[in-house]
Amino acid sequence: MGIIEKMRLDGKKIVVTGGARGIGKSVATAFAEAGADIAIVDLDIAEAEKTAIELVQGNGIKAIAIQADVTKPEDVDGMIVSVLKTFGRLDVAFCNAGICMNIPAEEMTYEQWKKVIDINLTGVFLTAQAAGKVMLKQGGGSIINTASMSGHIVNVPQPQCSYNASKAGVIQLTKSLAVEWAKRNVRVNSISPGYIGTELTLNSPSLQPLIEQWNEMAPLGRMGKPEELQSICVYLAGDTSSFTTGSDFVIDGAFTCI
């Protein structure tokens, strides 16, 4: 069997949080194209259902949509129950749900700070914890967390201390879980994307001045594309990455090198 065949995900059962659009949808699409059955989790159930239908078409896989708030333990537990009820097992969790608020630190309210930390960091922990419990009982699995280059650098010119702190926390959480679960065959890795041109980002008038500045600073002179994150996630989800755990993969077009 060649390397391309070995990287397929046929038979694997994957849950993707924040999967209805953007990076989550793009990576879920790659998982489906590689043969995996997918559970799309999002607060926007209508969009999640639309994405699930799109994944089924042409890929010969199963896909379901689940509405859940990753900051609520009961929602996360219910999400896992739904996945197991439908698929019977859980092989991969892509913990991707997240938000960003650009607010000067001195003006940020406690509620604004807490919302970002709750979704970006606590939500990742709750999802990874719930998925990890299942995988530990099964004897193995792979967890992929969405961190950010913002966990490595301080972005400018936008003020986003809560986002940066949350993503730095995701990276260290990833390493901690990887060490705890290594001998029990549950791998935990993270991806740290740079600026990615999702449909929402590119169509936001308020972000256009920032995008121009980001592109001027970027060594490649452009934002990344969601599909440029697909191959690393397919690799981390599959068996060819069996020796890869506790790693953070920076996919930023060398932005953090400057």
Average pLDDT taken over every residue of the chain = 96
More confident residue, 18 or 204: 18
Return the pLDDT at 200: 77
At residue 203, the pLDDT reads 83
Q: Which of 81, 78, 63, 75 is nearest to 14 (CA)?
A: 63
> Are 70 and 98 spatial neighbours (Cβ–Cβ below 8 Å)?
no
* Mean of pLDDT values over 238-243: 97
More confident residue, 200 or 240: 240
- The mean pLDDT of 46-50, rounded to a whole number, is 98
Per-residue confidence (pLDDT) for residue 201, from 0 to 100: 85
Find, among 82, 61, 67, the residue nearest to 19 by Cα.
67
Q: What's residue 54's pLDDT? A: 96
The residues annotated with a catalytic role in the active site are: 148, 163, 167
pLDDT at 206: 80
Q: What is the pLDDT of residues 201-225, one digit of tens each?
A: 888 888 899 999 999 999 999 999 9
Rounded CA-CA distance 137/41 in Å is 23
* Average pLDDT of the segment spanning 50-64: 95
Give the residue with greater pLDDT, 33 vs 200. Answer: 33
- Mean pLDDT score, 60-87: 98
Least trusted range by pLDDT, from 129-138, 192-201, 225-234: 192-201
- pLDDT over 80 at 158, yes or no: yes
Residue 66 · residue 130 · CB < 8 Å: no
List the one residue out of 54, 78, 84, 53 whose CA is nearest residue 66: 78
- The pLDDT value recorded for residue 58 is 81
What number is the average pLDDT over the span 84-103?
Answer: 97
pLDDT at 202: 87
Hey, what domains does the chain have and what are their CATH numbers?
A: 3-250 (3.40.50.720)
Which of 160-174, 200-214, 239-253 comes out lowest in average pLDDT? 200-214
